[in-house]
Amino acid sequence: MATGRAKQPCVKCDKGPGIAICGGCEEWFCRKHFMQHRDGLGEEMDRVGQQHDFLHKQLSEDNVMHAFHLRINEWENASINKIRKVAGKARTDLEKYLNNTKTELKNSLGKIRVELATSRESDDYTEIELTNWAENLKKLRQLLENPPSIGILESDQSLALIRVGPPKSM
């Protein structure tokens, strides 16, 4: 009784015809090596099962932090540090400006004080001088309360830095 299929030698030992062909790798094996091949597949199955169990355990834990959470936390901390640095510089610049403004205002008030004292002592002032001094004092008060060249510029460019969804290249 002849078969239509020619037997191949065992891929492990080359000692004779293989008696079994593996349905996965389609290689021929002698009985001994076929059993070893199946044992190897069993060991690989155990490893795959362990990987599955480990991944399932990780997925079930609530305290697992995704790598992106860590990156977002790092980004947040770096951004806060940058903001603090910029805010500190803004405070320093504001203090310098306010100190300069105070100095200028004090100098202007000193001039007005001298003019008032001199005019009072000589008793040679008119309504025109009184009106000018009052207007100058009003302007100085406005400069003290509302400095004209101070403003806060805010930017909305940091609002959309985190995208949820597939990357654009997909």
Q: One digit per residue, pLDDT tens: the chain, 170 residues? A: 455 567 789 999 877 788 999 999 999 999 999 999 999 999 999 999 999 999 888 877 766 667 788 888 999 999 999 989 988 988 898 888 888 888 999 999 999 999 999 999 999 999 999 999 999 999 999 888 887 777 777 765 554 444 444 555 53
78 and 116 in a common domain:
yes
Cβ proximity of 18 and 30 under 8 Å: yes
* Contact status, residue 154 vs residue 160, Cβ threshold 8 Å: no
**Would you say residue 13 lies in a domain?**
no
Q: Are residues 81 and 100 in the same domain?
A: yes
Q: Are 126 and 134 in contact (CB under 8 A)?
A: no
Residue listed under structure tokens 């025109």:
128
Domain total of the chain: 2
Range of the domain at 44: 20-60
My answer on whether 26 and 51 are in the same domain is yes
84 with 110, same domain: the answer is yes
Helix, strand counts (H, E) of the chain: 3, 2
Q: Under a CB-based contact definition with an 8 Å cutoff, are residues 143 and 105 in contact? A: yes
Is there a domain that residue 72 lies in?
yes
Q: Is residue 151 part of a domain?
A: no
Q: What confidence tens digit (pLDDT) does each residue in 87-107 have?
A: 898 889 888 888 888 899 999
Instruction: State whether 141 and 122 are in the same domain.
Output: yes
CA 37, CA 32: separation in Å to the nearest integer? 9
| pTM, 2 dp | 0.48
